[in-house]
Structure 1
Amino acid sequence: MLDWNDLRYFLAVARTGSTLAASKDLKVSQSTVSRRITALEDAIEVKLFVRKPSGYDLTPRGQAVLPIAQKAEEAMLAFADGVAAESRRLSGTVRLSTVESAANAWVIPAMGVLREQHPEVRVEILTSEHYVDLARGEADVAVRFGPKPTQETLVVRHLVDMLESFYAPRDMVDRLGMPKDVADLARYPLVASTDDNSLTNRWIAQHLPGTEITQRASSMSSIIASVRSGLGAAILPCMMADGMPELVRLLPPIEELTTPGWMVTTDEARRQPHIRAVIDLVVEQIRQTLARQPADLTLVQAA
């Protein structure tokens, strides 16, 4: 039976004119090349070469089958390229959980790049202020803020230290003036969260008791929209608000409100190429965001 691998030896000898030169190209011994050529000729019962002291010359029949062997080689190479390309093609669905503000600032912008690089990968973005259970498969990966997750089954890497400060619309600052210190913020109307137990609301209650709160909202995007609309000043993440030219940072970042951010997944999930691709692109989006901002934040390698 014909061994298709013998075509490699036939073509190598036909191109180089000798078994010695062919053996160097194929990185095998000269005797192996000679043996495989003889085996091929025996299998098809056709003499393909004339053996001469100066080398191997194709017989008329060898000349006739040479184009066929070349086409077979092209087909095999195309097949190998197709298999390699298929192995590189990523597909599947990734469920990513994070808060709405991080989804808007980092995850969604990264999805445009993902679409270009891996069009068959789909990402379901789950926005919530509450943690999902990754170990139980409620999501594949999460960008979380707050204390470091400690569940043993999770793979956790520090992403960013998110600093926060007060921001107000520029026209309000022009009207009221820049505050000299925290106490001077009392003359600014404030926009706050609806959650009285949130870290920012507790800070406001402690440091600015009695300050007028003109608007409350349950999501960061709504708080940002309220500030942009001129309803008041609010505590916002510096990474996001510093990139909004219509807002002015009123004070240096508030150290007590620094919030660490984490990339959280499971070992099984991060070993899947399509999930790894999403993680890498989100991390790169954060890196690019940091590069455009003042040096208020730090980023380290993701999971």
Structure 2
Amino acid sequence: MLDWNDLRYFLAVARSGSTLAASTQLRASQSTVSRRITALEAQLGVQLFVRRPSGYELTPRGQSVLPAAESVEAAILNFSDGVAAESRRLAGTVRISTVESAVNAWVIPAIGLLRGQHPEIRVEILTSEHYVDLARGEADVAVRFGPRPTQESLVVRHLLDMLESFYATHEMVERLGMPASVEDLARYPLVASTDDTNITNRWIAQHLPDAEIAHRSSSMSSISAAVRSGLGAAILPCMMADGMPGLVRLLPPIEELTTPGWMVTTDTARRQPHIRAVIDLVVEQIQQTLARRPPHLAVAQAA
């Protein structure tokens, strides 16, 4: 079976008429070029070149096979170009799991940028307060908040430390007054989660046991909508609420509710170019958001 590299030597000598010129082109020694030509002739059982003091000249048989060798060269170059183009064209579906606040603050803006750069990548968002099993392929990437994931099969990097605080509308603050302490919040109607095991609900029960819970909702988006509608004050992620027109942060961030954020994936997933592109854009969006952040947000450089 012919070796493509032997055809490369054949074409270089045929075009240059010299093993010395061919050796320069191929970045090989002149003796290597001569040896490869001799080996090719022996394998084919025909003489391809006449060796003259002035150089190498194709024999009639060499002339007859030259077009075929050039066709093989063109096919291989086309194949190589096609592989390179395919590697540049990123396509596929990427599933991201995270909470609503992260979706709205970072993931959706990142997808908008992604569409312009890699239109054949599709992103599916799984919004949930519960963790999906990345190791089993339930998602490709997750942005999680809470304790650092410890599963050995996961690749984890610290993104930021997110704080939370109470927010209410300007109108409510004008009517009820700006609270000077947590205790002052007792005069505010509150919006809370329907899940009594939620960490913010537990904090409210501990620090504001007599507060009026004016409204409950099961999702962060509906809680923030209730606050914007004037139903009451609520604990919201600062990364989300600080950018909402019409809302006022009532107190400094609540230290006990500080939550580290993590980018989580698997080694197999992050090695896939289309998934890596999504990860990089989400991280970039987070970094840009943090660059514009008020001082209540701290960030750790993503690995």
**TM over 0.5: same fold?**
yes
Contact 1:287–1:299 (Cα < 8 Å) also in 2: no
In structure 2, what is the equivalent of residue 253 of structure 1?
Answer: 253
Q: Determine the C-alpha separation between the residues in 2 that align with 1:151 and 1:281.
A: 25
Per-residue deviation, 1:57: 6.6
SS at match of 1:5: helix
Q: 1:33 to 1:282 in 2, by over 3 A?
A: same
Cα-to-partner distance string for 1:8-36 (whole Å, 9 max, x where unaligned): 22443455553223212312110222234
In structure 1, what is the equivalent of residue 228 of structure 2?
Answer: 228
In structure 1, what is the equivalent of residue 279 of structure 2?
Answer: 279
- Percentage of pairs with the same residue: 79
Cα-to-partner distance string for 1:199-242 (whole Å, 9 max, x where unaligned): 21222233333233322211111111112222222211111122
In structure 1, what is the equivalent of residue 168 of structure 2?
Answer: 168
| Equivalent AA in structure 1 for residue 249 of structure 2 | R
Q: Determine the C-alpha separation between the residues in 2 that align with 1:172 and 1:84.
A: 60
Q: Determine the C-alpha separation between the residues in 2 that align with 1:240 and 1:299.
A: 19
Q: 1:194 to 1:2 in 2, by over 3 A?
A: closer
Cα-to-partner distance string for 1:41-78 (whole Å, 9 max, x where unaligned): 7749575677344x557789988987876665344222
Output the aligned Cα RMSD: 3.3
Contact 2:47–2:59 (Cα < 8 Å) also in 1: no
Q: Determine the C-alpha separation between the residues in 2 that align with 1:134 and 1:180.
A: 44
Q: Using the TM superposition, name which of 273-282 and 163-172 deviates more.
A: 273-282
Identify unmatched segments of 5+ residues in structure 2: none
Cα-to-partner distance string for 1:102-126 (whole Å, 9 max, x where unaligned): 2222223322344444444433322
SS at match of 2:132: coil
SS at match of 1:179: coil
Q: 1:172 to 1:52 in 2, by over 3 A?
A: farther
Please give the TM-score of this superposition, normalised by the length of structure 1. 0.81
SS at match of 1:263: strand
SS at match of 1:260: strand
Contact 2:142–2:264 (Cα < 8 Å) also in 1: yes
| Equivalent AA in structure 2 for residue 285 of structure 1 | Q
| Equivalent AA in structure 2 for residue 101 of structure 1 | S
Q: Using the TM superposition, name which of 35-44 and 174-183 deviates more.
A: 35-44
Q: Please state if 1:298 is matched with 2:299.
A: yes
Q: Determine the C-alpha separation between the residues in 2 that align with 1:32 and 1:147.
A: 62
Q: Using the TM superposition, name which of 249-258 and 261-270 deviates more.
A: 261-270
SS at match of 2:279: helix
Q: Please state if 1:237 is matched with 2:264.
A: no
Q: Determine the C-alpha separation between the residues in 1 that align with 2:232 and 2:29.
A: 81
Q: 1:72 to 1:228 in 2, by over 3 A?
A: same
Please give the TM-score of this superposition, normalised by the length of structure 2. 0.81
| Equivalent AA in structure 1 for residue 168 of structure 2 | A
Q: 1:182 to 1:12 in 2, by over 3 A?
A: same
Count of matched residue pairs: 301
Q: 1:49 to 1:235 in 2, by over 3 A?
A: farther
Cα-to-partner distance string for 1:82-103 (whole Å, 9 max, x where unaligned): 1233345444443332222222
Q: Please state if 1:138 is matched with 2:170.
A: no
| Equivalent AA in structure 2 for residue 301 of structure 1 | A
Q: Determine the C-alpha separation between the residues in 2 that align with 1:136 and 1:57.
A: 63
Identify unmatched segments of 5+ residues in structure 1: none
Q: 1:38 to 1:199 in 2, by over 3 A?
A: same
In structure 2, what is the equivalent of residue 150 of structure 1?
Answer: 150
Q: Determine the C-alpha separation between the residues in 1 that align with 2:50 and 2:181.
A: 93
Q: 1:64 to 1:262 in 2, by over 3 A?
A: same
Q: Determine the C-alpha separation between the residues in 1 that align with 2:117 and 2:101.
A: 25
Q: Determine the C-alpha separation between the residues in 2 that align with 1:49 and 1:163.
A: 81
In structure 1, what is the equivalent of residue 178 of structure 2?
Answer: 178
Q: Using the TM superposition, name which of 164-173 and 60-69 deviates more.
A: 60-69
